[in-house]
Chains A and B, each alone.
Chain A
Amino acid sequence: MTTTTEKPAVASALETSDRVVSHLHPEPSYDLADHPVPKGLEEVWRFTPLKRLRGLHADVEFQPSAIECTWTTPDGVTIAGVSGDALEQWRGVSGYIPSDRLSARIFAEVGSMLTVDVTDEVSEPVVITLSGSDASVVEAGHIAVRFAPHSSATVVFVHEGPATLGQLVEFELGDGAQATVVTVQDWTDDSVHVGRHTARIGRDASLKHTAVTFGGDLVRLSTDVNYAAPGGSVELFGLYFVDAGQHLEHRLWVDHNQPRTNSNVDYKGALQGDGAHSVWIGDVLIRKIAEGINTYESNKNLVLTDGARADSVPNLEIETGEIEGAGHASTTGRFDDEQLFYLQSRGIAEMDARRLVVHGFFADIVKKIGVPQIEGRLMETIEAELALHVGAGEGVEVGEA
């Protein structure tokens, strides 16, 4: 006769809402008093220059919008501005409860929302363009996107022009939904953007989310993901190009709160010029209940000139021993002399060699986005950025044949 000392399997499966003691993830609350104004020493704020936020982290008054919002509406998608009583159906549609002061203020103060309802399998992308006109106007916006069960669509956000924006974007993925989201931050260099994308992934649903950040004096974009049921899968991709004086910050937070869920995070950035600063924070939490999950996160930075700084911090918190796979990688480096020598030894001029290396560095992420309309624009923007410091190309085609 043998005795077993193991807990029956059902016991651990029942622990669904373990509270996690982590300084990185403040307790969610609608109450503004639970989210004091950050002072800059807090772990989640210590990389961000608060002085340049124009009060978005504190209590600056939200002014009437100076951002023009336009969109395309393919069949199977309903897009509408809502206000008044209708807000109740949409606010917090992803299960999100404010995790910082800005989000709590948006819940409390912003009286209208843009809502996107995907009810079918849609092949043509939804493109939502937010075009700013005045960076001295401080404003806040709230967008919600709902993917019905088994629906699929691509939603692209393009941010351009001058603006100072505090933003919350929610994504609710029904069971089996397949969502592709691209958010492009191509603001003018006097803009400030503090944004949060938060997504809840239904059973066997999948989200491919790509953040692309080029423009803005300061952009701080947080992307949160959690799961409503087992079997969900997310890919979070990003690329950024930081120029002199810019602060571009991306914060990822994947909460593996369900078993057999997957996440893959891959961000790449290039930096050039004095005071260029990138911050990448990749937090992954694997809760006790989340057995059999798979996660990998990677951040690579290419520093093109002196005077630029890349902060890259992957965090993996694991509370169960029963995981399929978990890992992370972070690298920051300069041009590889051996790569340049190899290309130059084939007759390729130094500048063209550098451009090839940078294109190659970004190419795999660009290919993964899966939205052809965006890929062309991205390669053009990368090209323009490279012309600033690395030099314009002379007769070299860097695209693929």
Chain B
Amino acid sequence: MAKLEITDLHVSVDTEDGAKEILHGVDLTVDTGQVHAIMGPNGSGKSTLAYAIAGHPKYTIVSGQVTLDGVDLLELGTDERARAGLFLAMQYPVEVPGVSVANFLRTAKTAIDGEAPKLRHWAKDVNGALQNLNLDPSFAQRSVNEGFSGGEKKRHEIAQLELLNPKFAILDETDSGLDIDALRIVSDGVNRFSGQGDRGVLLITHYTRILRYIKPDQVHVFVAGRVAESGGTELAERLEAEGYDRYLHTATQA
């Protein structure tokens, strides 16, 4: 089971001029085993949605609900949400100097599973996950995200996805800044994850390019802090041809 339900979600962010609402009532359900893509123009609130669900302290939930398999995520701390099965692959993964990838992965795995991973399998699992993402084993000894190239950061996020194997993954513009080879490697990782059948994926992207490699069950167009339209992959093709202009025009009038 991995069903994510977002109901009438309103989220604000603190600015110098007070709280500013960015999400104006998001409704979205991703059923177990499905991959949904959220597409939208810059500044539409896609990333806010991702970070708010994960519990970033910068965002305030004004109203609404987010549940994962019926568990109210918004009642939980960020770490508890992760332990409840949520994973967020970030657009800008954060550097943690002095903490090795190996130490970080083991600490995270221990936290998620509630017990330390068995040493014998773990080393093999880590090397396998790194190899899958075309990362050298020496990568494990580097400090988390420090000095990584843009592509390495994204591949490291997906290596974590495979190792931690959560119920539900939100991928925030994982495709941005990737060259064509890295895009394929990252997409393969996501497909291995979703291919398990009982997982869920919310893929946030700006471009249709990644949808050539990851086939979504549904596509949502996200404009001005809410879902403007939902449909199948044909919607993505239409966006490719027409852009977001049509939605932006409507949003301005509203």
Contact = CB atoms under 8 A, between A and B. Distances in A.
B148 to A, nearest CB: 13
Contact of A401 (B87, B90, B97, B106): B106
Interface stretch (A66-74, A100-108, A291-299, A390-398): A390-398
A206 to B, nearest CB: 25
Given A338-B94, A360-B97, A363-B98, A346 B103 contact: no
Given A347-B83, A360-B99, A401-B106, A342 B111 contact: no
B107 A356 contact: yes
A346 B94 contact: no
Interface residues of A, number: 31
A237 to B, nearest CB: 14
Given A341-B57, A346-B108, A396-B110, A356 B99 contact: yes
Interface string A183-209: 000000000000000000000000000
B111 A364 contact: no
A304 interface: no
Interface in B91-109: 93-100, 102-104, 106-108
A191 B151 CA distance: 52
A363 B99 contact: yes
Contacts of A359: 98-99
A347 B111 contact: yes
Contacts of B81: 345
A30 interface: no
Interface in B57-92: 57-58, 77-79, 81-83, 87-88, 90
Contact of B164 (A336, A347, A349, A357): A347
B100 to A, nearest CB: 6
A350 B102 CA distance: 19
B88 A401 contact: no
Given A400-B102, A401-B106, A344 B97 contact: no
B78 A362 contact: no
Contacts of B83: 347
A361 interface: yes
B225 to A, nearest CB: 22
Interface string A340-374: 01111111111011001101111110000000000
B103 A344 contact: no
A339 B146 CA distance: 12
A219 to B, nearest CB: 24
B79 A356 contact: no
A360 B96 contact: yes
In the complex, which of the residues A347, A359, A396, A400 has the most CB atoms of chain B within 10 Å of its own CB atom? A347
Contacts of B110: 395-397
A398 B96 contact: no
B54 interface: yes
Nearest to B81: A345
B112 interface: yes
Contacts of A345: 54-55, 78-79, 81-82, 87-88, 90
A356 B96 contact: yes
A337 interface: yes
A342 B98 contact: no
B14 to A, nearest CB: 13
Nearest to A361: B98
Contacts of B100: 400
Contact of B82 (A337, A347, A398): A347
Given A341-B57, A342-B90, A342-B93, A347 B99 contact: no
Contacts of B180: none
Contact of A344 (B78, B95, B164): B78
Given A339-B94, A352-B107, A396-B110, A344 B99 contact: no
Given A345-B78, A346-B82, A347-B83, A361 B97 contact: yes
B102 A401 contact: yes
Given A350-B79, A397-B107, A341 B99 contact: no
Contacts of A343: 96, 104, 107-108
Nearest to A268: B98
Nearest to B114: A395
Interface string A377-401: 0000000000000000001111111
B241 to A, nearest CB: 36
B199 to A, nearest CB: 16
A378 to B, nearest CB: 14
A247 B96 CA distance: 29
A151 B58 CA distance: 57
Interface in B109-164: 110-112, 116, 143, 160, 164
B94 A349 contact: no
Contact of B97 (A338, A364, A399): A364
A26 B79 CA distance: 55
A356 to B, nearest CB: 5
B192 interface: no
Contacts of A348: 79, 107-108, 111
Nearest to B97: A360
Given A350-B79, A362-B98, 9 more contacts: A343-B104, A344-B78, A345-B87, A346-B82, A346-B104, A346-B164, A348-B79, A348-B107, A352-B111
Interface of B: 54-58, 77-79, 81-83, 87-88, 90, 93-100, 102-104, 106-108, 110-112, 116, 143, 160, 164
19 contacts: A336-B94, A339-B95, A341-B54, A341-B56, A342-B94, A342-B96, A343-B104, A344-B55, A346-B104, A347-B111, A353-B79, A364-B98, A397-B103, A397-B107, A397-B116, A398-B107, A400-B102, A401-B103, A401-B106
